[in-house]
Amino acid sequence: MVAAMEFEEKHRRMIEVIEEEVAYTSHAIGKSKLDARVMEAMRQVPRHEFVPAASQMLAYSNGPLSIGHGQTISQPYIVALMTDLLEPQAEDTILEIGTGSGYQSAILACLVKQVHTTENVSPLIAPARERLQRLGYNNVEVHECDGYFGLPELAPFDGIIVTAASPHVPEPLLEQLKPGGRLVIPVGHEFYAQELLVIQKQENGQFTERKVLDVVFVPLTGSGHHLAAEDIN
């Protein structure tokens, strides 16, 4: 009971810190508040369930945490911001690249009809599936594959969100986006010079791009990532 009360208080404080961070970065992100639906999802999802047991008391701190295998669970502010930038709607089908522990998947599951999420780091896949099912996020399907190439067999998607940095925007993801849809992705070198981009596909098939913030993400894994890295070297 004490632990549950502690988590509740830490969770409440996390929401306050996200709101403070949004206000502080409002000049860059173009708004002083995030969508109320997004913030409600951030309130609903128990972040401590998505981190290793040893890190649970840090689960609601406003920073990334290791989940093993060289991967992380993103900073809560960044999760909230990327979700808001995606502009998810209730009837949407969303593609997420980089399941990790499943936290971003769970946030999206509160907001849309269906989430398809891909993971290339094999040891993370079964735990993420079990966790999402146990917590009742039944509208999330975890796919083991190289996310750089998306899921062409299930495309097109209303929105795509990428939770690892790619050296450039993967062409397959642009192709799998519906007209009017958005791709939210960190782009840049490994661990430095990364920018969070919002790319929108117009009805005529053309794309608009907006740079939002400088960010730091772990690199996208898989053969597609390496091909992308070679392309810019």
Percent helix, strand, coil in the chain, to 5, is 40, 25, 30
Kindly name the residue from 26, 55, 74, 122 that is annotated as catalytic.
Answer: 74
157 and 181 in contact (C-beta within 8 Å)?
Answer: yes
How far apart (Å, rounded) are the C-alpha atoms in residues 17 and 75? Answer: 11
How far apart (Å, rounded) are the C-alpha atoms in residues 165 and 204? Answer: 27
* Torsion, Cα of 206, 207, 208, 213 (10° steps): -170
Task: Check if 223 is active-site.
Answer: no
Q: Say what angle helices 76-86 and 36-44 make with each other, to 10 degrees.
A: 140
CB-CB neighbours of 116 under 10 Å:
22
| Residues paired with residue 72 on neighbouring β-strands, in sequence order | 66
Residues contacting residue 145 through CB under 8 Å, at least 6 positions apart: 118, 120, 151
Largest CA distance in the chain: 56
Q: Which residues are catalytic?
A: 74
